[in-house]
Structure 1
Amino acid sequence: MTFGEQPAYLRVAGDLRERIVNGSLPPHTRLPSQARIREEYGVSDTVALEARKVLMAEGLVEGRSGSGTYVRERPVPRRIARSGYRPSGGANPFRQEQAAEEARGTWEATSEQETAGPAIAERLGVAPGDPVMRTRYVFRVASEPMMLSTSWEPLAVTGRTPVMLPEEGPLAGSGVVERMAAIDIVVDNVVEEVGARPGLAEELLALGGVPGHVVLVVERTYYASGLAVETADVVVPADRYRIAYHLPVR
């Protein structure tokens, strides 16, 4: 193989990808079998198999037990708008994360006290083993799961206060900024880091994805005068959503 020349399996995958994109292999069409790929492209079984694996990893095709491999319906990515913090009033607990202004979201949440592991302790600036409140969310739009979120709040800050449980009490469903203000803590900064990785099995099950799909992960932390009062991991399927930031210019 000369410099710059693609391996055979990537060339085969690239041609099949082009056929999927241009509609020659439309959604729900069965992908050519391994034997057909081998004959059509003059490659070995190993090359044909690796080419199919590439398309599956890219989310372009999916295997159906006992039936074969089929072209997947390609979703049109929708936007998840983020603007730093939720508006006051608590009318919609994830307005900033909705795919469109006209969308109406629902959510499920469960909270549980636990001890901070090393990674979460570092993000919150507490000692490993310190008590935190962990809250897990599943957000839906039009009944479709669109986003998962797991947040941690140090109980040294919220413990024994009316806002200890984010989704219970007088400010249930309100954003972090409003909840902290209720206990005289002024949130003045939020940091978000966005990355991508293969989705965990339980994440993809909850989001309706398939093994190998990539998810976007937003690692968010709220601060009050340098004190971390909440950190969270927000997980969205990368093939269905794009994250759009609305940043005011001061």
Structure 2
Amino acid sequence: MGNDEPPYQVVANDLRRRLKDGEWETGARLPSRAQLAKHYRVGANVMQRATERLIVEGLLEGRAGSGTYVAQPRERRRTVRSRHRERRGGSPFRADMYEIGSNGTWEASSEARTPAPDSIARRLGIGPGDPTVRTTYEFLADSKPAQLSVSWEPMVVTGGTPVLLPEMGPLAGKGVVERMRSIGIDVETYVEIPRPSRATSEQAALLGLNVGDLVLAIERTYYANDGRPVETADIVIPDRTWEVAYEFAVDPPEAD
């Protein structure tokens, strides 16, 4: 991720490494945040954010009035979806995997001029049958299947630009936000709707599941600052091997 990582992430990365190396046993109490802050030569706020990140990931657990402890290993890995994920630059999936110590890669295939199905047209605010770029993804964590995605982008937005195909051109693999910014479109928000679902035969084959196994289906749509949708996707995450956590920041109180 380079040298531009925020200090809390640098600390979280090192703590994650120490946990992986077995420096503290499961159930062991970590040194106090003040002691850890002194060790890492950071402020209390940085140390708090680093440990909270590992609590969200399920590696640590906080006990009120007692301290921070090494959590029991999880049968399922945890991926964290956050409003901050787009601020890291590049692919959100690669950044997500990096933050839990995994190597995130993917395979993708795009088809231009794909007529928009009715449901996708509604999500993108275009007419049924209008041309889109449809891209299918198979995401891997440490070379093992982690999630699937099918993405649609309206060609009225990207047609005739260098970023028409998400995985080709000068910004291949950089993610929706960076690609859209390069053609003068500022993505301001995205909305995710998670729903429990069951794996289809195709999904099961790609994810190493049985047909009918539980999956989390996420409908995600990116919106430009003028309110128009610029991309929508159906994401499928296998419940057997992954759990999804949503991280929300609490805004500070407004000054009187």
Q: Same fold (TM over 0.5)?
A: yes
Deviation at 1:87, TM superposition (A): 3.9
Kept after mapping to 2: 8 A contact 1:80/1:100: no
Match of 1:86, SS state, is helix
**Runs of 4+ more than 4 Å apart:** none
Aligned counterpart, 1:228:
229
Deviation at 1:249, TM superposition (A): 2.9
Give, in whole Å, the separation in 1 of the partners of 2:222 and 2:120: 13
Gaps of 5+ in 2: 1-73, 252-256
Give, in whole Å, the separation in 2 of the partners of 1:247 and 1:100: 17
Deviation at 1:99, TM superposition (A): 8.2
Q: After superposition, where does 1:199-218 map in structure 2 within 5 Å?
A: 199-218=199-218
Kept after mapping to 2: 8 A contact 1:80/1:99: no
Give, in whole Å, the separation in 2 of the partners of 1:128 and 1:145: 32
Larger Rg: 1
Match of 2:167, SS state, is coil
Gaps of 5+ in 1: 1-74
Kept after mapping to 2: 8 A contact 1:192/1:221: yes
Kept after mapping to 2: 8 A contact 1:110/1:137: yes
Aligned counterpart, 1:195:
195
Give, in whole Å, the separation in 1 of the partners of 2:227 and 2:205: 37
Aligned counterpart, 1:144:
144
Aligned counterpart, 2:122:
122
May I ask how many residue pairs the two structures share in their alignment? 175
Kept after mapping to 1: 8 A contact 2:88/2:95: no
Deviation at 1:97, TM superposition (A): 4.2
CA deviation string 1:140-174 (max 9, x = no partner) = 11211010011000000011101111111111111
CA deviation string 1:35-93 (max 9, x = no partner) = xxxxxxxxxxxxxxxxxxxxxxxxxxxxxxxxxxxxxxxx8111112124434542x55
Match of 1:103, SS state, is coil
RMSD: 1.7
Amino acid at match of 2:219: E
> In structure 2, do the counterparts of structure 1 residues 99 and 215 end up closer, same or farther at CA, with 3 Å as the change threshold?
farther
Kept after mapping to 1: 8 A contact 2:110/2:165: yes
> In structure 2, do the counterparts of structure 1 residues 87 and 122 end up closer, same or farther at CA, with 3 Å as the change threshold?
same
CA deviation string 1:189-211 (max 9, x = no partner) = 11000001111100010000012
Aligned counterpart, 1:111:
110
Aligned counterpart, 1:178:
178
Kept after mapping to 2: 8 A contact 1:124/1:231: yes
Kept after mapping to 2: 8 A contact 1:123/1:231: yes
Q: 106-115 or 79-88: which moved more?
A: 79-88
Amino acid at match of 1:192: E
Give, in whole Å, the separation in 1 of the partners of 2:99 and 2:240: 17
Give, in whole Å, the separation in 2 of the partners of 1:228 and 1:78: 31
Aligned counterpart, 1:72:
none
Deviation at 1:247, TM superposition (A): 2.2
Give, in whole Å, the separation in 1 of the partners of 2:193 and 2:237: 14
Aligned counterpart, 2:76:
77
Give, in whole Å, the separation in 2 of the partners of 1:142 and 1:195: 26
Deviation at 1:100, TM superposition (A): 4.9
Kept after mapping to 2: 8 A contact 1:81/1:246: yes
> In structure 2, do the counterparts of structure 1 residues 100 and 76 end up closer, same or farther at CA, with 3 Å as the change threshold?
farther
Alignment of 1:240 with 2:241, yes or no, is: yes
> In structure 2, do the counterparts of structure 1 residues 97 and 115 end up closer, same or farther at CA, with 3 Å as the change threshold?
farther
Deviation at 1:245, TM superposition (A): 1.6
> In structure 2, do the counterparts of structure 1 residues 176 and 124 end up closer, same or farther at CA, with 3 Å as the change threshold?
same
Aligned counterpart, 2:134:
134
Q: After superposition, where does 1:1-16 map in structure 2 within 5 Å?
A: none
Kept after mapping to 2: 8 A contact 1:86/1:95: no
Match of 2:187, SS state, is coil
Match of 1:98, SS state, is helix
Give, in whole Å, the separation in 2 of the partners of 1:96 and 1:214: 25
Give, in whole Å, the separation in 1 of the partners of 2:88 and 2:198: 35
What is the aligned-residue identity percentage?
49
Amino acid at match of 2:173: G
